[in-house]
A and B are shown apart, each in its own frame.
Chain A
Amino acid sequence: MEISFKQVSYTYQPNTPFEHRAINDLSMDISSGSFTAIIGHTGSGKSTLIQHLNGLLRPSSGKVNIGSYQLHAEAKLKGIKELRSKVGIVFQYPEHQLFEETVFKDIAFGPSNFGVDREEVGGRVDQALQAVQLPEELLDRSPFELSGGQMRRVAIAGVLAVQPELLVLDEPTAGLDPKGQKEMMNMFHQLHKQKGLTTILVTHSMEDALAYADHVIILNKGEKYLEGKPEDVFTRQQDLQKVQLDVPEVIQFITNVKDRFQVDLSYHGQTIKELAEELAAIVKGENRYE
């Protein structure tokens, strides 16, 4: 699903003392099938931006195109329900939105609500449960009896069961332990590839953006600050520092080595093992640049 923002601004509570412009003149394009990471500080406009993607908010000015749907200030979108069936948003701490008596009912709520017939709903629930890697035995259990990580997976399954084309993830790993974080991100990456989704990941984690995204957009104070491939954006250390963002740790370390040893070492997507190999050559003096 292709997305474009054209000079989009959004102001909360206009013409009141609380008026606040959260997004300012933002233009960007996200191509179909891409995995885009959106990064920015608290208050940079990330949450406001994603609420435009399924029409929870309409721009105060400018235009948002999501596939064949267009949002603008002048009029409400007629096909908004249809849009929402194609855009799945996993909000922060989605497990707080669980409400049904059983896991099955909770996952089935979305598709049923969008008018999917009963028989198909059953199949979709099974598929979604499989996608989030939960066992079938859980279907009859109350979602509230599950562990935190399982609850989150159930909530995500509910979004997947609607079979969205665009999946928006707002800090999906917050509050999970390191192992849980890794499993969750691997799961989304797999889904992205298997189902040919367009995925937007809102994150604070430079490491996740570097590991999973093919396109990075950095927001600052409601405006687009940087955009490009992760390896290009994240090596612009000075620009990132200006808005008080860190580069991923591996890139930071490589810069430190470069400064200390005066060698030509750069980030090119190497793993820790490969980096260790390069470092070993440098400190042993086998380095060809010396």
Chain B
Amino acid sequence: MGKNVMKFQNVWFRYGEDLPWVLQDVSFEISASEWVAVIGHNGSGKSTIAKLMNGLLFPQKGNILINGLEVNEETIWDVRKQVGMVFQNPDNQFVGTTVRDDVAFGLENRGIPREEMIRRLKSSLAAVRMEDYELQEPHRLSGGQKQRVAIAGVLAVSPQIIILDEATAMLDPNGRKEIMQTVKTVKERDDVSLVTITHDLNEVTLADRVLVMNEGKVWMEAPPKNVFAKRDELKEIGLDIPFVTKLAAELTDRNIFLKTEPLNHDELLEELWRFHLNR
């Protein structure tokens, strides 16, 4: 992992002076080209973190640095060039009257030359499989299609950090998988850092590192395998573990000892096969 591109230093946040703290002394770093998943029950502070990351909110105490630049009212425009954000509900982020205009909006704002703009427009729409809808009006699209266009809009601007705030929550499973695949491809191609805020456990397994939030505090920070190994503790704070992890734990209880903590079907099958051969 390279240098940090984002740093939260002892961040405190609340939505009003007489309201409870939503975030309490939150500190973490995200490295260049790292994929970090943020999980936590509803109300644990996940989405507040996302909004702080690109200056939609500012902390009352502590600092947030993006590539060493402190996020504040003077720097938000520079920050937002580097931090692209996709929200849960795409209806709240449409500006264009056609799919093409909407994806082009961010590019126009940044003064990208026309030829380059057309190239990026095509490639980002193709990446989310919406190339046939260029001239459609956004409000005629289904929820999943809208979200894919919103993701294309962010991809087109190719920021250094992309935040997905439950961006796949409204998609069907197939759509989810495709978006995750798309994001993965883009991450590798453009070497971006990814922050995915999600309830989808299988999405979490794709990340390099997981930030578990509980009641406004960082509860744990570790690779997915280590996080899911804490299945009882996770349950206590309202979280679940993936099917494979559950099954692996049940197998361990039955004296099937696995060498590594499997995260997907292949890894678990491999472990079972190895056990079978060595029995």
Which residues of A approach B to under 8 Å, CB–CB? 18, 41-43, 147-149, 174-182, 204-206, 244-246, 249-250, 252-253, 256-257, 260-261, 272-273, 275-277, 279-280, 282-285
Q: Mark B121-149, 1 if CB is under 8 A from A, else 0.
A: 00000000000000000001011110000
B265 touching A179 by the CB < 8 A rule? no
A to B contact number (C-beta, < 8 Å) = 110
In the complex, 17 of the A-B residue pairs with CB atoms within 8 angstroms, ordered by the A residue number, are A42-B143, A42-B145, A176-B199, A177-B41, A179-B239, A204-B173, A206-B173, A244-B174, A245-B174, A250-B243, A253-B243, A253-B268, A272-B243, A276-B250, A276-B254, A280-B256, A285-B279
Chain A binding surface SS class: helix
Q: Closest chain B residue to A96 by CB distance? A: B89
B43 is an interface residue with CB less than 8 A from chain A: yes
Q: Closest chain B residue to A182 by CB distance? A: B240
Give residues of chain B (227-245) contacting chain A, Cβ–Cβ below 8 Å. Answer: 238-240, 243-244
Whole-angstrom distance between the alpha carbons of A260 and B276 in the complex? Answer: 11
Whole-angstrom distance between the alpha carbons of A26 and B251 in the complex? Answer: 45
B110 CB, min distance to chain A CBs, angstroms:
31
B75 is an interface residue with CB less than 8 A from chain A: no
- Taking a contact as CB atoms closer than 8 A, the residue among B145, B238, B246, B255 that contacts A179 in the complex is B238
**How many residues from B make CB contacts under 8 Å with A?**
41
Whole-angstrom distance between the alpha carbons of A276 and B169 in the complex? Answer: 30
Whole-angstrom distance between the alpha carbons of A280 and B255 in the complex? Answer: 8
- Taking a contact as CB atoms closer than 8 A, the residue among B144, B201, B279 that contacts A42 in the complex is B144
Give residues of chain B (259-279) contacting chain A, Cβ–Cβ below 8 Å. Answer: 265, 268-269, 272-273, 275-276, 279
Q: Closest chain B residue to A271 by CB distance? A: B250
Residues of B within 8 A of A18 (CB): 140
Give 4 closest A-B pairs by Cβ, nearest first. Answer: A276-B250, A42-B144, A178-B240, A179-B238
Q: Closest chain A residue to B175 by CB distance? A: A42
Whole-angstrom distance between the alpha carbons of A279 and B272 in the complex? Answer: 9
Residues of A within 8 A of B247 (CB): 253, 272, 275-276, 279
